[in-house]
Amino acid sequence: VTSIHDIPTPALLLDAALLEANIAAMSELLPGSRLRPHVKAHKCTAIARRQLAQGHRGFTCATLRELEGMAAAGLGHDLLLANEVVDVERIRHIASRDDARITFAVDSSETIAAAAAGGVREVLIDVNVGLPRCGCAPGDAGSLADQARTSGMQVRGVMGYEGHVVGLEDAAERRTRCEESMQLLLAAHAEVGGDLISAGGTGTFDSNTWATEIQAGSYVLMDTAYGRLGLPFVQAFWVWSTVVSVSEKYVVADCGLKSLGMDHGNPEIADAKVWFCSDEHITYAPSRPVSVGDRVRIAPSHVDPTMAYHQQIHVIAGENVEDTWDIDLRGW
């Protein structure tokens, strides 16, 4: 058995027991098809397999690479690409697999035409519910559904991601703003039809009671931004780093913004104050004496980009490395 003290840094650590606890907590609250876990948070089929084992057969993907990797890993029972694509060749390649059921999000005549040309059989109409990103205007959803049906595709329903709401720290505000967004989605659904109303994320997994399925992803690993929301999930992964320089007021470890998603702010270190990160360094003020060569756990502020920067994650129990999983859905 390898010790965490013997692995090269920076490296990702995953506490196996905490991962299982997060997966179990969520599947108790949102069992089976009430949750369509988003794989973009972890990009790792080994983790997706554990979510499947808890009863979630459908998954959400953000990229064609994630779709392809999930299908190839035998996890293609019901995959949703919750994103717009127009690359007909790649769409055709994935849509022609007979071992995967794949539903594409569409929000325009162009994306409908690309899906139809690529041989896609099933789509969801992606509706803008307030996040300035993909999604059609709610009033256009019905006519886009008609276009998709006329093009020979089945419309399974709607999706609308309230990404501007999931990170709000006040629970009451999250619920109110979520309801506003979901009223838009329900109005669109009334025009579109179909069984699925797909929405939500880790921050709204419980307040979003309007969607038929929740697309949460981060809950499996968590990060310090979601950690502030008081959710029933715990930080289960860290970047493991080595102290390389010690000064009077601060120390420096070998983990910087090239191994940490930083768009939600600085990472956190228990009992220390993080000053800043640069490419390959983190500078922080510890609360007790630290020596060069010591190791330190760094809690990322944003799980998704952190995972995407690494090729592997070490699965640990205490200080032992029990396994190493490939982050095999990386790239595009």
Ligand X SMILES: Cc1ncc(COP(=O)(O)O)c(C=O)c1O
> What is the C-alpha separation between 265 and 269, in angstroms, rounded?
13
Q: How far is the CB of 304 from ligand X (least distance, A)?
A: 6
Contact 209, 139 (CB under 8 A): no
Enter the tokens of residue 124.
Answer: 């969801």
Q: How far is the CB of 192 from ligand X (least distance, A)?
A: 17
- What single-letter amino acid sits at 88? V
Using alpha carbons, select from 215, 260, 83 the residue that is nearest to residue 274. Answer: 260
Nearest CB to ligand X, comparing residues 181 and 241 = 181
Q: How far is the CB of 254 from ligand X (least distance, A)?
A: 27
Nearest CB to ligand X, comparing residues 51 and 202 = 202
Q: How far is the CB of 199 from ligand X (least distance, A)?
A: 7
Q: Which residue of this chain has its Cβ atom nearest to ligand X in the complex? A: 201
Nearest CB to ligand X, comparing residues 42 and 281 = 42
Nearest CB to ligand X, comparing residues 201 and 261 = 201
Q: Which alpha helices (DSSP H) does the chain contain, by range?
A: 16-29, 45-53, 64-72, 88-95, 109-117, 141-150, 171-192, 224-227, 303-308
Q: How far is the CB of 133 from ligand X (least distance, A)?
A: 8
Which residues would be at the binding site for ligand X (CB under 6 A)?
A: 38, 41, 60, 82, 161, 163, 166, 201-202, 215-218
> What is the C-alpha separation between 77 and 320, in angstroms, rounded?
34
> What is the C-alpha separation between 20 and 8, in angstroms, rounded?
25
Nearest CB to ligand X, comparing residues 45 and 218 = 218
